[in-house]
């Protein structure tokens, strides 16, 4: 009964209070959630923890309360306490006491009657007014509702103030590993543009859209632009560990830039403390690397011997994905590298093809003793990752032992001397054939063979060659009255001997200097092995260098007395270096090698300039004599010096005549002609009007007529400048072109589309103007020659003197001791004759003709001058040649293989003459160059003859 | 009792003082003591003295470097003097010598002959064949110099044989230009003799006498603690260079006294005490020759006048006085200064009956080269002869050399060529005639003596042949004719298949001959 009453009371209470309290609890949770979202937006761990804890607490409170409620309603005492005490405190307390009594009596009969106590409780409970309880419940529910409404109101305020912030906050709140789970859009109308690197010259920007992967060259700048959907967010462009902030562009939008350096996936994100909320879409970029240039070298890879190399033509084809900047020919040997620029490009050309030639006497090749690796390398124009070199396969050139070419050449010359010795011996014992025909055919032909041969790329210097050929010629000529056959042979033998010794000494010095480099390389290798961790490399360098040194020393010993001496010194010190190397004593290996290098760089005889020792002991050795066995080489060198001086003097005189004529022409007063020349120029232009303008199909009559018009226009301009020589040249070219046009028009009358009568008239008028110009030019020249007559007469006398000197030299060149080759004597004699004729022309005031003859004579003089026996033609001093060939000095791509100076190869010099001719033709196609004068001019004139 | 106790205490105190005094007396050696020991070549004592020094100083480090140089340890010299501080303190150029010397010595052949007391360093291992000859000369010359100068060399005696003037300069510190100008072939410095290998010169040089000359310099340095003035150094060395052996032809050619007299009369005299830092640094070889002649003549005159004991006393006094000025020692020994003796010597020279007109070289004592011989023509004939001989045309070579011999009969170099051509042609008697005798030639030329020895041996004159061979080796040991006792291997094309040339029986000479032939074939 009591229980039913209590349940009735609790039911009345719970029906009213329960919904209100639950609503209040839910409102609390909601308020905490929404309020916490704002706090969580801070993104810091602390903020997120606080919010999390708050939310957990609020939920916990709700759940706890629910559990307590359920437990409370199961207990009569708690129910009375909660319901009745709240509704009627006095009655409630009575009821509680009655309940206590009833419970006590139920367990303890001594406390009283259980039935009475129960009855008492029942009566009390029955007296409770349900209505009163309901009223109390209503009051309690009202309070809950107020609280609930307040919380809900607060939550709604938090939501309504900035719903996005709540979303962001909640997103941040539940983020894991710094990433919020919910993707949000941040930019309105986002725009992504790609700006490719400028060096790619790819034109305008490229518009991208997220989604599909995109390939972009490294260095591309990506620009993300858009209007923020919600202001105040810290927007970033994010990829991996890197992010770039968006900045305002001043027009309401924000922008971020990203340079592509590697593969990335880019997203727009908003940063909240340590947490990012990403946009759903991303841009996947695959970075495209600028590849190194590809270079193909014809016939590479391969290996060849320098001794068998006549000429190595290198043809390359280089290409790059974006552009080439430079092409180099690279020669490497051991630790040495020689880089020669073949081509400098603007960085926009994507392919380049060309060639270069390596001669066996190339200074680098001749200096090297290790295999030389030849490659062509191309440099691209990548400024982003740095320009890269691409290299071709290699051609490996295996050089001969140091000094081997010189030793071979010396042996060949020695063979000649031995043949002459044999000849002399037979003559002395009377067994030699006395017929000169046999001699003239045998020895001179042998000499010619030897001096024309190449010895591993080394030739016989021209001066020495001329000397030997001259001596051979002297040997072959018939005996003069009173001349002794034996004496003549002796003279020639001794002349050969002296020349041979000169060559031997010069070669020994040159080879010794190169061997010094080898010794230095051995020393460097030993140092490397001793001082660094790269011991194996150092030891390898030592061993290779010591082997090369041994071979070189052997070759050096074949080079006459000085070579034997220096070679013996090298062998001795090499022995010390090897001995130390065998003991792995790198310190002493280095010391011995450095001493040898220093010694060989001073390639003097072991006993220096002192010829005999013994001063310390006071007893000098006897010498056979202090005289010279033959002075033929000295006399020849004297003649060669005089010839060189003659060439220089004649060149000076030639220049003097050129200057005189030029100055005389410039001194003629032509101002009186200016007005008349202008009228004629106008007449020329008038004659052209009917002719077609350029632009017609090449090869047609119209094109030829247009060309004629161009030339005639140039003629008119020359006339106005009073440059009659140019005007005459242009006029002749114009007439030639018009003739050509007329011919083509006649051949194809239907297709000409040309007014032939206008063409004819133009020709006639132009012809008349040309005649006038020629007439003026002739008068001008006559006036100039009259003015320069004094100077020309002076030059005539000088030319006569030089002609006499040339004749004398030719006569001396026929003598045995100063014998010159046949062709040199011929050139000298022809030059002398032409100079005499030039002298006559100059004396008669015909400056132009005289000048022309002088140029012919100069060309012949240069052909006759071969240099001295001691000249090496630059073969012995690789460094000097190297400097001359330095591309930085000859300035420009055309200078790849041009040498400075005015030397002109003899037409019979085969390939060198052919090379020279080709270079001249290339050079003539360009603007005037200092490099091409004066020899090229003369050569070109020679070509025209 | 009290007295006895007092005496005992006094005795202990005295002992302590004496002990202290004794320690103080032993003390650390001074740097000067070490320096003197090194100068006197007493490297063992110098080492001991250095070991006793406990206080390091730059001066001591420099002495260590100097000692290392005397021991031939150039690496140590270079290492010690590589420090900037010591390099700055090194005023003698020792560091530079050490560095350059190290390059010459590195990996060199070292031959220690304990029995002979010689340590020989060969820059060129090919010179190993010369070692027996060098050792023999050094042993004999050293003994004689020790006797004459009254000084004993420490053992081992250090000799460095270098390959060329460049290396001689590096090891000795002598400027290369000076060595080249005067043709210096050996230097005694830093406690060793540095001598150029005979293979450095085309025709050899008198290396035996040069060795004796340089040994004398070392002995003088030891005897006088390097206080001997230059004239004394060179004069005594010149005197000693031939005294260690039996007289040989051309020993006093040209005679120093005659040369000195001629120089004095012609005004080309250098002067006894005006030699500068070194004769090798005189401006010309001629000046060097005159200087040598003058000092040799003066020293011989002085010893002749004062006797050998006085000479040894002079050396002792120079060492004792510690001055390069010889006047004090001269006065001490003879009672007169140097100028007095120079004046007496000059007077004695002038008193010698003139054999030549003033200003002219002494009359040729030997041979008979006509005064009008044309050098160019001679050179031409000799060269043609050489070319023909080298190709095996001995008869033709003989024809070419005949007029040269007629022009310059006293030139031993022409005579042996002519004789060789004759021998090549198989004409022994004509070869003998063309070679002539010692009286016909004017200088020692190795191959001449080698051919002479060969012909003497053929004639049965074994002793004369042996003497000739020895003379040849003393002048030009690496000439094939000398090394192989007058025989040579023909290298002409026609000689292929010819019987092998003979070789000497003596093992040392056989090795020398074979080495020379092997070298020629390279």
Give DSSP secondary structure letters for A310-358.
S-EEEEEEEE-SS-EEEEEEEEEETTEEEEEEEEE--S--SEEEEEEEE
The distance of B491 to chain A (nearest Cα, Å) reads 13
Which contiguous run of DSSP H or E holds residue B157?
A: strand B157-162
Q: Who contacts A117 (Cβ-Cβ below 8 Å, separation ≥6)?
A: A98, A101, A102, A104, A105, A106
Q: Does position B464 have pLDDT exceeding 90, yes or no?
A: yes
- In whole angstroms, what is the distance from residue A802 CA to residue A806 CA? 6
Interface predicted TM-score (ipTM) of this complex, two decimals: 0.89
Instruction: Give Cα B273 distance to the centre of its chain.
Output: 22
DSSP string covering A615-631? TTTT-PPP-S-SS-S--
Q: How far is CA A199 from CA A62, A223, A386, A467, A945, in A?
A: 68, 19, 12, 60, 51
Q: Who contacts B72 (Cβ-Cβ below 8 Å, separation ≥6)?
A: B105, B119, B121, B158, B160, B192
Mean pLDDT in residue range B147-165? 94
- Does A482 reach chain B within 8 Å, measured CB to CB? no
HSE-CB for B400 with a 13 A CA cutoff: 34
pLDDT of residue A434: 58
The answer to whether the Cβ–Cβ distance between A621 and B445 falls below 8 Å is: yes
pLDDT digits 0-9 by tens, A286-295: 988 888 899 9
The CA dihedral of B8, B11, B17, B19, to the nearest 10 degrees, is -100
Q: Who contacts A188 (Cβ-Cβ below 8 Å, separation ≥6)?
A: A226, A227, A228, A229
HSE-CB for B14 with a 13 A CA cutoff: 6
pLDDT of residue A310: 80
Mean pLDDT in residue range B72-87? 88
The answer to whether the Cβ–Cβ distance between B376 and A422 falls below 8 Å is: no
pLDDT digits 0-9 by tens, A406-416: 999 999 999 99
- Does A428 reach chain B within 8 Å, measured CB to CB? yes
What's the DSSP call for residue A278? E
The answer to whether the Cβ–Cβ distance between A428 and B400 falls below 8 Å is: yes
Residues pairing with A244 in the sheet: A237
- Does B165 reach chain A within 8 Å, measured CB to CB? yes
- In whole angstroms, what is the distance from residue A495 CA to residue A489 CA? 10
- Does A431 reach chain B within 8 Å, measured CB to CB? no
For the beta carbon of residue B507, count every other beta carbon within 10 angstroms. 9
Q: Does position B146 have pLDDT exceeding 50, yes or no?
A: yes
Residues pairing with A338 in the sheet: A331
Contacts of A743-751 spanning 24+ positions with Cβ under 8 A: A744/A700, A744/A701, A744/A704, A745/A701, A748/A701, A751/A700
Question: Per mean pLDDT, which range of A385-389, B8-12, B299-303 is the poorest?
Answer: B8-12
DSSP string covering A854-866? HHHHHHHHHHH--
The answer to whether the Cβ–Cβ distance between B180 and A608 falls below 8 Å is: yes
What distance, in Å, lies between the first and last C-alpha atoms of chain A?
Answer: 150
The distance of A350 to chain B (nearest Cα, Å) reads 55
Quickly state the pLDDT bin for A88 (edges 50, 70, 90): confident
- Does B375 reach chain A within 8 Å, measured CB to CB? yes
- With a CB-CB cutoff of 8 Å, which residues 527-556 of chain A face chain B? 554
Q: Who contacts A324 (Cβ-Cβ below 8 Å, separation ≥6)?
A: A293, A318, A345, A347, A349, A350, A351, A352, A378, A379, A380, A381
pLDDT of residue B124: 95
Q: Does position A928 have pLDDT exceeding 60, yes or no?
A: no
Contact A355, A362 (CB under 8 A): no
The answer to whether the Cβ–Cβ distance between B106 and A587 falls below 8 Å is: yes
Residue in B163, B384, B441 closest to A490 by CB? B384
Closest CA to A834 of A794, A807, A867: A807
Question: Per mean pLDDT, which range of A401-410, A752-761, B167-176 is the poorest?
Answer: A752-761
Question: Per mean pLDDT, which range of A321-330, A602-611, B132-141 is the poorest?
Answer: A602-611
b/e map A489-504, b = 16+ CB within 10 Å: bbbbbbbbbbbbbbbb
Mean pLDDT in residue range B59-76? 92
β-strands A206-208, A187-195 pairing: antiparallel
- Does B102 reach chain A within 8 Å, measured CB to CB? yes
Question: Per mean pLDDT, which range of A275-279, B273-277, B366-370 is the poorest?
Answer: B366-370
The CA dihedral of B49, B53, B57, B63, to the nearest 10 degrees, is 10
Contact A95, A26 (CB under 8 A): no
Quickly state the pLDDT bin for B103 (edges 50, 70, 90): very high
b/e map A712-741, b = 16+ CB within 10 Å: bbbbbebbbebbbebbbbbbebbbebbebb
Contact A942, A936 (CB under 8 A): no
Chain A CB contacts of B376 below 8 Å: 627-629, 631
| A435 CB burial (10 A radius; 0-12, 13-18, 19+) | exposed
Question: Per mean pLDDT, which range of A470-479, A927-936, B206-215 is the poorest?
Answer: A927-936
pTM of the model: 0.67
Q: Who contacts A35 (Cβ-Cβ below 8 Å, separation ≥6)?
A: A54, A154, A155, A158
Q: Who contacts A439 (Cβ-Cβ below 8 Å, separation ≥6)?
A: A423, A433, A475, A476
- In whole angstroms, what is the distance from residue A298 CA to residue A122 CA? 121
Closest CA to B104 of B86, B92, B122: B122
Quickly state the pLDDT bin for B494 (edges 50, 70, 90): low
Chain A interface, best mutation among B383, B402, B441, by max A CB count within 10 A: B383
- In whole angstroms, what is the distance from residue B427 CA to residue B293 CA? 42
Q: Does position B285 have pLDDT exceeding 80, yes or no?
A: no
Residue in B166, B280, B411 closest to A599 by CB? B166
Dihedrals phi, psi of A897, to nearest 5 degrees: -130, 15
For the beta carbon of residue A317, count every other beta carbon within 10 angstroms. 16
- In whole angstroms, what is the distance from residue A138 CA to residue A132 CA? 10
DSSP string covering B397-463? HHHHHHHHHHH-TT-HHHHHHHHHHHHHTT-HHHHHHHH--GGG-SS--HHHHHHHHHHHHHTT-HH
- Does A622 reach chain B within 8 Å, measured CB to CB? yes
- In whole angstroms, what is the distance from residue B448 CA to residue B508 CA? 21
Chain B CB contacts of A572 below 8 Å: 123-126, 163
Listed in sequence order, the DSSP H helices in B199-284 are 207-224, 230-240, 256-266
Mean pLDDT in residue range A611-617? 49
Mean pLDDT in residue range B448-475? 94
pLDDT digits 0-9 by tens, A191-225: 899 888 877 777 677 888 877 788 888 888 899 99
- In whole angstroms, what is the distance from residue B169 CA to residue B175 CA? 6
- Write out the two tokens for A814: 């026929």
pLDDT digits 0-9 by tens, B20-50: 344 444 567 889 999 999 999 999 999 999 9
- In whole angstroms, what is the distance from residue A594 CA to residue A261 CA? 50
Contact A198, A238 (CB under 8 A): no
Dihedrals phi, psi of B233, to nearest 5 degrees: -55, -55
Angle at CA of residue B471, ends B467 and B473, nearest 5°: 120
Chain B interface, best mutation among A614, A631, A634, by max B CB count within 10 A: A614
DSSP string covering A166-192? HHHHHHHHT-BTTB-SS----EEEEEE
The CA dihedral of A720, A724, A726, A728, to the nearest 10 degrees, is 110
Closest CA to A763 of A733, A727, A739, A728: A739
Closest CA to B386 of A567, A432, A562, A624: A624
Which contiguous run of DSSP H or E holds residue A437?
A: helix A436-452
pLDDT of residue A945: 39
Chain A residue with Cα closest to B250: A619
- In whole angstroms, what is the distance from residue A514 CA to residue A831 CA? 41
Chain A interface, best mutation among B78, B96, B106, by max A CB count within 10 A: B106
Please report how the helices A89-107 and A114-127 are oriented relative to each other, as an axis angle in degrees rounded to 10: 160
Quickly state the pLDDT bin for B19 (edges 50, 70, 90): very low
Q: Who contacts B447 (Cβ-Cβ below 8 Å, separation ≥6)?
A: B413, B416, B420, B472, B476, B479, B481, B482
pLDDT of residue A81: 82
HSE-CB for A613 with a 13 A CA cutoff: 30
Chain B CB contacts of A417 below 8 Å: 387
pLDDT digits 0-9 by tens, A860-918: 998 888 777 777 655 544 333 333 333 333 333 333 333 333 445 554 454 445 455 54
Percent of chain B scoring above 70 in pLDDT: 88
The answer to whether the Cα torsion of B204, B207, B209, B210 is positive or negative is positive
The answer to whether the Cβ–Cβ distance between B165 and A618 falls below 8 Å is: no
């Amino acid at each position: 009964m009591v229980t039913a009453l209590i349940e009735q009371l609790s039911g009345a209470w719970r029906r009213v209070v329960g919904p209100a309290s639950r609503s209040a609890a839910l409102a609390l949770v909601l308020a905490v959630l929404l309020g916490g979202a704002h706090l969580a937006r801070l993104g810091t761990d602390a903020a997120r923890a606080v919010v999390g804890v708050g939310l957990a607490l609020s939920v916990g409170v709700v759940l706890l309360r629910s559990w307590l409620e359920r437990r409370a309603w199961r207990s009569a005492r708690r129910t009375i306490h909660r319901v009745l005490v709240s509704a009627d405190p006095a009655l409630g307390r009575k009821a509680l006491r009655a309940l206590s009594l009833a419970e006590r009596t139920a367990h303890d009969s001594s406390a009283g009657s259980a039935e009475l106590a129960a009855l008492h409780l029942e009566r009390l409970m029955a007296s409770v007014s349900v209505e009163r309880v309901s009223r109390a419940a209503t009051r309690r529910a009202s309070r809950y509702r107020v609280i609930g409404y307040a919380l809900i109101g607060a939550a709604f305020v938090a939501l309504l103030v900035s719903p996005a912030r709540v979303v962001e906050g909640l997103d941040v709140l539940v983020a894991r590993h710094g990433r919020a789970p919910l993707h949000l859009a941040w930019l309105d109308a986002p725009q992504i543009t790609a700006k490719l690197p400028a060096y790619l010259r790819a034109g305008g920007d490229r518009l991208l859209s997220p989604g599909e992967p995109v390939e972009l060259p490294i260095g591309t700048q990506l620009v993300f632009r858009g209007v923020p959907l919600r202001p105040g967010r810290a927007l970033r462009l994010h990829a991996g560990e890197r992010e770039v902030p968006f900045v305002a562009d001043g027009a309401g939008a924000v922008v971020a830039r990203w340079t592509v350096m590697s593969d990335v996936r880019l997203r727009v994100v908003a940063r909240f403390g340590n947490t990012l909320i990403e946009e759903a879409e991303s841009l996947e970029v695959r970075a495209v690397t600028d590849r190194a240039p590809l270079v193909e070298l014809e016939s590479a890879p391969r290996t060849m011997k320098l001794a068998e190399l006549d000429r190595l033509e290198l043809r390359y084809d280089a290409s790059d994905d974006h552009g080439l900047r430079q092409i180099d020919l690279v020669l490497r040997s051991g630790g040495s590298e020689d880089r020669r620029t073949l081509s400098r490009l603007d960085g926009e050309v994507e392919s380049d093809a060309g060639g270069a030639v390596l001669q066996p006497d190339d200074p680098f090749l001749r200096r090297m003793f290790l295999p030389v690796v030849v490659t062509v390398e191309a440099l691209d124009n990548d400024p982003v990752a740095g320009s890269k070199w691409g290299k071709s396969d290699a051609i490996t050139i295996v050089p001969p032992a140091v000094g081997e070419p010189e030793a071979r050449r010396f042996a060949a010359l020695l063979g000649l001397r031995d043949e002459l010795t044999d000849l002399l011996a037979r003559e002395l014992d009377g067994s030699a054939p006395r017929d000169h025909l046999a001699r003239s055919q045998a020895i001179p032909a042998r000499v010619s063979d030897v001096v024309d041969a190449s010895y591993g790329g080394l030739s016989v210097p021209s001066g020495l060659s001329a000397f030997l050929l001259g001596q051979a010629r002297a040997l072959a000529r018939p005996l003069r009255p009173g001349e002794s056959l034996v004496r003549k042979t002796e003279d020639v033998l001794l002349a050969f001997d002296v020349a041979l010794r000169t060559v031997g000494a010069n070669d020994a010095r040159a080879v010794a200097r190169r061997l010094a480099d080898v010794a230095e390389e051995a020393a460097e290798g030993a140092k490397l092995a001793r001082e660094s961790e790269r011991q194996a490399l150092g030891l390898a360098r030592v061993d290779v260098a010591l082997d090369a040194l041994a071979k070189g020393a052997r070759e050096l010993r074949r080079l006459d007395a000085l070579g034997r001496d220096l070679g013996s010194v090298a062998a001795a010190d090499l022995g010390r270096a090897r001995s130390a190397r065998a003991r792995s004593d790198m310190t002493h290996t280095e010391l011995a090698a450095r001493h040898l290098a220093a010694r060989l760089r001073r390639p003097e005889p072991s006993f220096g300039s002192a010829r005999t020792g013994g001063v310390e002991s006071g007893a000098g050795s006897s010498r056979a004599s202090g005289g010279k066995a033959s002075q033929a080489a000295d006399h020849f060198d004297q003649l060669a010096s005089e010839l060189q001086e003659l060439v220089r003097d004649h060149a000076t005189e030639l220049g003097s005549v050129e200057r005189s004529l030029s100055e005389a022409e410039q001194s003629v007063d032509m101002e009186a002609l200016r007005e008349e020349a202008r009228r004629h120029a106008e007449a020329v232009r008038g004659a052209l009007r009917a002719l077609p303008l350029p632009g017609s199909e090449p090869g047609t009559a119209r094109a030829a007529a247009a060309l004629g018009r161009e030339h005639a226009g140039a003629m008119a301009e020359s006339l106005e400048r009073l440059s009659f020589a140019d005007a005459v040249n242009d006029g002749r070219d114009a007439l030639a072109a018009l003739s050509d046009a007329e011919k083509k028009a006649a051949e194809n009358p239907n297709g000409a589309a040309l007014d032939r009568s206008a063409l004819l008239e133009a020709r006639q008028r132009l012809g008349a103007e040309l005649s006038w110009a020629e007439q003026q030019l002739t008068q001008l020249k006559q006036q100039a020659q009259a003015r320069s007559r004094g100077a020309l007469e002076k030059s005539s006398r000088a030319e006569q003197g030089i002609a006499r000197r040339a004749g004398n030299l030719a006569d001396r060149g026929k003598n045995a001791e100063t014998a010159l080759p046949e062709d040199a004597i011929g050139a000298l004699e022809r030059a002398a004759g032409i100079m005499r004729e030039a002298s006559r022309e100059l004396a008669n005031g015909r400056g132009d003709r005289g000048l022309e003859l002088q140029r012919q004579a100069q060309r012949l003089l240069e052909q006759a001058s071969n240099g001295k026996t001691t000249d090496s033609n630059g073969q012995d001093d690789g460094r000097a040649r190297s400097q001359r060939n330095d591309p930085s000095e000859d300035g420009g791509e055309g200078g790849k293989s041009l040498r400075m100076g005015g030397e002109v190869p003899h037409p019979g010099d085969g390939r060198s003459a052919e090379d020279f001719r080709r270079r001249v033709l290339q050079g003539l196609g360009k603007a005037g160059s200092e490099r091409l004068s004066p020899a090229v001019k003369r050569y070109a004139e020679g070509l025209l003859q | 009792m009290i007295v006895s106790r007092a005496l005992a205490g006094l005795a202990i105190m005295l002992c302590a003082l004496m002990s202290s005094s004794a320690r103080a007396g032993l003390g650390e050696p001074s740097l000067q003591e070490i320096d003197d020991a090194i100068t006197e070549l007493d490297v063992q004592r110098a080492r001991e003295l250095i070991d006793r020094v406990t206080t390091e100083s730059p001066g001591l480090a420099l002495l260590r470097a100097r000692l290392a140089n005397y021991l031939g340890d150039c690496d140590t010299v270079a290492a010690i003097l590589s420090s900037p501080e010591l390099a700055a303190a090194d005023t003698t150029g020792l560091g530079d010598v050490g560095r350059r010397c190290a390059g010459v010595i590195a990996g060199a052949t070292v031959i220690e002959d304990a029995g002979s007391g010689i340590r020989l360093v060969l820059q060129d291992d090919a010179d190993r064949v010369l070692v027996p000859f060098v050792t023999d000369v050094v042993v004999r010359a050293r003994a004689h110099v020790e006797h004459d100068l009254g000084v004993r060399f420490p053992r081992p005696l250090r000799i460095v044989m270098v390959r060329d003037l460049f290396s001689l300069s590096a090891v000795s510190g002598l400027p290369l230009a000076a060595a080249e100008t005067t043709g210096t072939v050996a230097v005694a410095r830093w406690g060793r003799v540095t001598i150029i290998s005979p293979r450095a010169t085309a025709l050899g040089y008198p290396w035996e006498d040069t060795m004796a000359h340089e040994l004398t310099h070392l002995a003088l340095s030891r005897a006088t603690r390097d206080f001997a003035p230059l004239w004394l150094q060179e004069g005594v060395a010149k005197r000693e260079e031939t005294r260690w052996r039996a007289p040989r032809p051309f020993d006093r050619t040209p005679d120093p006294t005659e040369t000195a007299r001629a120089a004095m009369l012609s005004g080309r005299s250098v002067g006894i005490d005006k030699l500068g830092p070194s004769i090798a640094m005189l401006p010309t070889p001629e000046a060097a020759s005159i200087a040598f002649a003058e000092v040799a003549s003066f020293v011989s005159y002085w010893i002749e006048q004062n006797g050998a004991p006085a000479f040894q006393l002079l050396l002792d006094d120079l060492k004792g006085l510690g001055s390069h000025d010889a006047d004090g020692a001269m006065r001490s020994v003879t009672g007169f200064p140097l100028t007095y003796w120079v004046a007496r010597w000059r007077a004695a020279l002038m008193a010698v009956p003139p054999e030549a007109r003033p200003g002219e070289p002494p009359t040729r004592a030997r041979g008979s080269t006509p005064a009008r011989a044309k050098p160019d023509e001679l050179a031409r004939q000799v060269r043609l002869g050489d070319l023909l001989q080298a190709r095996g045309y001995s008869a033709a070579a003989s024809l070419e050399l005949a007029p040269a011999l007629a022009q310059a009969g006293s030139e031993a170099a022409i005579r042996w060529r002519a004789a060789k051509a004759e021998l090549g042609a198989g004409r022994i008697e004509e070869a003998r005639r063309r070679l002539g005798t010692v009286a016909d030639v004017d200088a020692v030329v190795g191959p001449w003596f080698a051919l002479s020895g060969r012909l003497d041996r053929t004639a049965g004159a074994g002793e004369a042949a042996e003497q000739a061979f020895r003379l040849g080796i003393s002048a030009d040991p690496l000439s094939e004719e000398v090394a192989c006792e007058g025989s040579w291997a023909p290298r002409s094309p026609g000689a292929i298949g010819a019987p092998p040339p003979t070789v000497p029986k003596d093992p040392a000479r056989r090795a020398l001959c074979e080495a020379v032939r092997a070298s020629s074939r390279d």
